[in-house]
Amino acid sequence: MKYIVGNWKMHGTAAALEEIRGLAGAVPDGVDVAVCPPFTLIERAARVAEGTRLAIGAQNLHASEKGAHTGDISASMLADAGASLVIVGHSERRADCGESDHIVHAKAEAALAAGLTTILCVGETEAERDASRAEAVVATQLAGSCPGSADGLVIAYEPVWAIGTGRTPTPEDVRAMHAHVRHDLVLRYGDAGQAVRILYGGSVNPGNAATLLAIPDVDGALVGGASLTAAGLLAIAAAAPTG
């Protein structure tokens, strides 16, 4: 099944729980749907979604189980709050917070050890693509960030230059990169690499979702701004092929 994940980033207060309620009651058959709200909403969102097919996740975590890490959240804390998945290595974390592949790898290992589905993000900047280095950059990120096991792992390819800009790569660009990522995963994990879902993330919206989700090896989408309303994310989920 296709996997549609909404990343709310730094959006959402208590009023946004109405969007969670709308999503929880309307997830279509044949597709997996999750939302990653800010930390402050995870526990309340999980209560709203309890007993439904909507999963609730987090946008980040600390690699340590506990300790003197002011302002950070551990994997066990996320699970305790009701999260079943977490995003690691998002380009905004890598760029804004200086997260290296080493840090992302440690976070992925911690998340998987806690039983959280782990969405690991990779992707190139516009300058790197223009320099014909996109595949090399993604390969380096995978090599440095991927955990030892593929069990519970999801990869999200997010061309940094397409996030929030309204721009998207051509379908052929997306197909080529997802095929590259799949090849790397199979080399890394063997047959288990075939089962790892690869999401596309970069200005996915109801207007382009059907085209993107029909591309080979695009197993779902990591959705930003279009996921902030139930109507937007449900429209993207409805565009996912279920055959």
Distance CA 88, CA 145 (A): 9
The residue whose two tokens read 């998207």 is 168
Question: 90, 105, 178, 180: which one is catalytic?
Answer: 90
Ranges assigned E (strand) in 158-240: 197-200, 220-223
Query: In the annotation, is 62 catalytic?
Result: no
- Phi, psi (degrees; rounded to nearest 5) at 88: -130, 150
CB 226 within 8 A of CB 205: yes
Question: 99, 158, 178, 180: which one is catalytic?
Answer: 158
Please state the three-class secondary structure of 8-29 as a single string.
CCCCCCHHHHHHHHHHHCCCCC
Query: In the annotation, is 158 catalytic?
Result: yes
Strands 153-157 and 2-7: unpaired
Does residue 89 come out as left (phi exceeding 0), alpha (psi in the -120 to 50 range) or beta? Answer: left
Catalytic residues: 90, 158
